[in-house]
Structure 1
Amino acid sequence: MRVLMVEDAVDLAEAVIARLARSGFVCDLATGVETACDFRAVQRYDAIILDINLPDGSGLSLLRDLRAEGDRTPVLMLTALISVDDRIVALDQGADDYLGKPFDQRELEARLRALVRREAGSKQEQIHLGGLSYFPADRSALLDGRRLELTRREAALLDILLRHQGKYLTKTRLYDSLYGFEDADVGVNAIELYIGRLRKKLAGSGVSIATQRGVGYRIGADG
């Protein structure tokens, strides 16, 4: 899951991003409206965490522009403004949820997951493919009833492959789901490494990852 956080309180943002990273989220930080627009111009996000008061404008204006463009990316407003009127304005402008500062980061993470599930139209708590059972809530998996040991990035890669099972995903699409702009020193070919690791862990299970040269990777059940 890739998230854009628009927040000018850098210390707060970095703490949130570090926590989200440990849970398998890829999070880019924009400290203002202009930077957020630049990021959105080149990257698709699964969710946006948006502060209202920003140094170069209002998060509400950014939200209005986003909705006017027809962009339905889930938006979680994160702000110190806590009055009922403030919440009503944000929700009326198209926000999907609202969390006041200070907040518990566990709640922020849970709300993000809920927003993405809602947008995807899926309430499923498990994803099954052959003998593989995947649990999105904690990004864990069972293979033929035994726990499958996964690193954070392996779990993130398995997550996106399973959510699009049966479809080929390009290397670039997978890379964008695993790495943020701060990881610019990591090449797109890193995906090949993680695909190879997942294949080894799935070997002999009846679940495999196919490669179509020039197209991408697809997970599916054999037979």
Structure 2
Amino acid sequence: MYVYVYEAREGRRGALMEELRAARLQPIPVEERFFTSDLTQLNRKGADTRAILIGSEGRGIDFLRAIRAQGCRNPVILLRDFKNARDAAQVLDAGADDVMIAPIKGVEVVSRINAINRRAHGHSAESVTVGEVRAFFDGRDPEVSGERVKLSRREHAIFQHLVLSANRVVSRAAIYDAVYGMDDDQPFDKVIDVYICKLRKKISTAAASGHQYIETVYGRGYKFSAAEVKAPEPIAAE
């Protein structure tokens, strides 16, 4: 999971980045110019789940307002050194999703980001069940027909993005943005198709029904959905 991180204090930045990496997040350090640049690309499907963490030093609330002014719906969490009810109320009213007080723990950051994203997609619980598949939003591998299915980090990122939009078509470009986005080292164009094939096979093999939960919608993208339940044939009257 990619996370944009602004922390002006060099000493704090290093420790924060290390803590986030330990929680299997992929932090991307940003400077002040990030908030004055064109942020509309974050509105693209796939990039809109990336969180933005803003440290306590600097013009945090100004940066927050700049993000929201460009229509970005990304989770935004303000990091503070001390608890201050008035400050927390101010930044929450300005559009922040959450406020965290130091010391920051990566595992808690992951849970807070996941909670914000799943509610934004209409999921209130820690997991969602689609047919035989139970997907978790806390980083755990999914359960298929009651058994845990091990996914790689990339497979998990794609799987979670599909499940957040279950029963809706998700474009290939949106999945690519969610997994790679603005990575400097972007892979070849067909890499998403390769991961989709692997993911589809793992799920269908584990499913008691053998159903392929990931449907290719040609020209549009992919859709994660359970098998349609056919109505029983009516019994002919004698």
- TM more than 0.5: yes
Q: Quick one: distance in 2 between partners of 1:81 and 1:40?
A: 29
Identify the residue that residue 190 of structure 1 maps to in structure 2: 191
Does the CA contact (< 8 Å) of 1:53 and 1:59 recur in 2? yes
Tell which structure's C-alpha radius of gyration is larger. Answer: 2
CA contact (8 A) 2:40 2:70 kept: no
Amino acid in the other structure paired with 1:194: Y
- C-alpha RMSD of matched pairs (Å): 2.5
Per the alignment, in what secondary structure is the counterpart of residue 162 of structure 2? Answer: helix
Structure 1 counterpart of 2:28, which letter? D
Mapped pair 1:208 → 2:213: yes
The one-letter amino acid of 2:21's match is A
Deviations 1:74-118 (A, max 9, x none): 321013354444333323322221112322222222222222233
CA displacement at 1:159 relative to structure 2? 1.0
Which structure 2 residues correspond to residues 39-118 of structure 1 after superposition, within 5 A? 40-43=39-42, 44-46=47-49, 47-54=51-58, 58-80=59-81, 82-118=83-119
Establish whether residue 35 from structure 1 lines up as the match of residue 24 from structure 2: no
Q: Could you tell me which amino acid in structure 2 is paired with residue 40 of structure 1? A: L
Shift of 1:70: 4.4
Question: How far 1:143 moved relative to its partner?
Answer: 1.4
**Number of residue pairs matched by the alignment:** 216
Farther-moved stretch of structure 1 (76-85 vs 132-141) = 76-85
In structure 2, the CA distance between the partners of 1:81 and 1:39, relative to structure 1 (3 Å rule), is farther
CA drift at 1:125: 2.4
Distance in 2 (alpha carbons) for counterparts of 1:139 and 1:163: 15
TM-score by length of 1: 0.82
Gaps of 5+ in 2: 229-238
| 8 Å CA contact 2:48, 2:72 repeated in 1 | no
Q: Name whichever structure is richer in strand by fraction.
A: 1
Following superposition, the deviation at residue 180 of structure 1 comes to 4.5
The answer for unaligned runs of 5 or more in structure 1 is: none
